[in-house]
Structure 1
Amino acid sequence: MAITEFSKKYHERMFPGYVSEFLETDPEFIERFDNFAFDEVVNSDDLDDRTRMIAILATLVGAQCVNEYKAMMKAALNFGVTPVEIKEVVYQAVAYLGIGRVFDFLHATNDVLTEKDIRLPLEGQATTTTENRLEIGIQAQVDVFGPQMADFYKSGPEESRHINHWLAGNCFGDYYTRTGLDYKMREVITFCFLSAQGGCEPQLTSHAAANMRIGNDKQFLIKIISQCLPYIGYPRSLNALRCVNEAAARMGENR
């Protein structure tokens, strides 16, 4: 077999001592996949391992890949991603995927942490209360998207205005305001949730612009897309790239 030395070493860093059964059952496939995902893709840019792993976990949640998520969660822990950071990925996913699609990932995360003898619950990360979540959530929207969001929560037709209210108080007030991940990383994982699930191109374009506004530039987002491509394939990756290009064009960014 012609699995590269770099791929072998990277795989060993992710899964120390683990030998995949695919080496026996599907040797030609695993040779091509490992060389691509764990050598060619990893070496295509300078993204750090922590950011790569957080993006991959968010992508796997978005794509509903619970078994691969459990495997890569163990790799993420081996690469220094903290239990708190992993939990924050899963919690924030609820706002973008719904509890119906995140429920199994909550259980999977707890199973892996318990297996690793990490005591639950983890230290709390909430910074808002029921009374101030709307006010602070509005400020989070402004911080991420800009001052035009200050009154967004009360905009739109009367019959649906409550959804914009919930977006400020629940999505941003309950999740974006938590510690454990900063705004820049929260926008990265939101970008990954949206790109992986597909069918959310308007929101993906909006969040691509938000990423660029707070410092995750076009080149950085392309790195995120590239590193997650082996886990969701080309169609959704190319859709995400189109959304990034559209957002950059709207912002007049040509870096």
Structure 2
Amino acid sequence: MSISEKRKTDSQFMERFEHFAFDEVISEKDQSLDTPTRWLAIIATLIGCGGQEAYRDLLPKALDDGLNPVAIKETVYQSVDYLGMGRMWPFLDITNEIFSSKNIPVASYGEATTTEENRLEKGAEAQAEIFGEHMKDAWKAGHINRWLAANCFGDYYTRTGLDLAQREMITFCFLAAQGGCEPQLIAHAKGNMNMGNNADFLKRVVSQCLPYIGYPRSLNAITSIEKASKE
């Protein structure tokens, strides 16, 4: 059921929800984001919480408001590392359906910059740029760490279409939205800060995404930001 249909079946609820999400939250003093950044955070959050129908309803609005299709596709691709293919797959299908309906080419937009031969090296370099030089050898701790460097960072973070600061922001949104990932959320809050996404920025991201994930996970995200700031 679409948003317009819900306005008919649940008019009072929709009136309050839309006022909160699309007016009050957006216009809250000192909590705003530029429109493309806000939509990028929201679509990452919807993917992170598994909100398929909300994603289907809101993705066209994000496109109409100027969010780049490249950024959308790259966000969906990167989510596979934090959600797994089982939860990411439907969002790729929905994205392609909506792109087709809007006559946007569905073929991949961003491009890989690594090869099978250098993905581990380049992934470790990306980790080190985000988290510090000590990460250059973190892959040696075991095969999962090696996969993390080569696959998560080497295959996806190094792609064109989003810069490292944007990729860290969407990762923060994936983690905050799914909940139960607070150790990783704190680590990626630090990574965001290292990329220039300071605590104030991250709190604004949480504020703009709160209508889509609720208060408990939003408050946990704020606590993680504050812990990262202190550490």
| TM above 0.5 | yes
Other structure's SS at 1:129 match: coil
CA separation in 1, counterparts of 2:156 and 2:8? Answer: 44
2:116 to 124, 127, 130: 130
Q: Normalized against structure 2, the TM-score is what?
A: 0.96
Deviation at 1:124? Answer: 4.4
- Between the aligned partners of 2:192 and 2:106, the Cα distance in structure 1 is 32
- Measure, in 2, the Cα distance between the counterparts of 1:46 and 1:146: 30
Whole-Å separation in 2 of the counterparts to 1:187 and 1:60: 16
Q: Which has the higher contact order (CA 8 A, sep 6+)?
A: 2
1:49 to 2:30 alignment? no
Task: Structure 2: give runs of 5+ residues left out of the alignment.
Answer: none
Partner of 1:203: 184
Cα distance in 1 for residues equivalent to 2:49 and 2:205: 15
Which residue of structure 1 lines up, in the alignment, with residue 175 of structure 2? Answer: 194
For residues 222 and 77 of structure 2, what CA distance do their matches in structure 1 show? 26
Q: Report the Cα distance in structure 1 between the residues aligned to 2:33 and 2:50, rounded to whole angstroms.
A: 24
Q: Structure 1, unaligned stretches of length 5 or more?
A: 1-17, 156-160, 251-255
Letter of the 1:52 partner, please give it: R
Partner amino acid, structure 1, of 2:49: A
Q: TM-score, normalised by structure 1?
A: 0.87
Partner of 2:107: 121
1:222 to 183, 203, 207: 203
Per-residue deviation, residues 166-193 of structure 1 (Å, max 9, x unmatched): 0000000000000100000000000000
- The 2-side partners of 1:78 and 1:245 are apart by 34
Comparing 26-35 and 232-241, the one that deviates more: 26-35
- In 2, Cα distance between equivalents of 1:82 and 1:93: 17
Moved more, 123-132 or 177-186: 123-132
Structure 1 residue 24 corresponds to structure 2 residue 8 = yes
Which residue does 2:57 correspond to in 1? 71
Q: Which has the higher helix share?
A: 2
- Deviating above 3 A after TM superposition, structure 1's stretches of 4 or more consecutive aligned residues are none
Please say which structure displays the higher CA radius of gyration.
Answer: 1
Q: Percent identity?
A: 55
Q: For residue 190 of structure 1, what is the amino acid of its counterpart?
A: T
Secondary structure of the 2:4 match is coil
Counterpart pick for 1:171 among 138, 141, 152: 152
Question: Pick from 59, 77, 87: which aligns with 2:73?
Answer: 87
| Distance in structure 2 (CA, Å) of the matches to 1:19 and 1:133 | 42
What is the alpha-carbon distance in structure 2 between the residues aligned to residue 23 and residue 172 of structure 1? 42
Partner-residue secondary structure (3-state), 1:216: coil
Encode CA deviations 1:195-251: one digit per residue, 9 max, x unaligned: 00011000000000110111000000000000000001001001111100100011x
AA of the residue aligned to 2:97 = D
The one-letter code of the counterpart of 1:26 is D
Aligned residue number for residue 231 of structure 1: 212
Partner of 1:182: 163
CA 174–19 in structure 1, closer or farther in 2 if over 3 Å, else same: closer
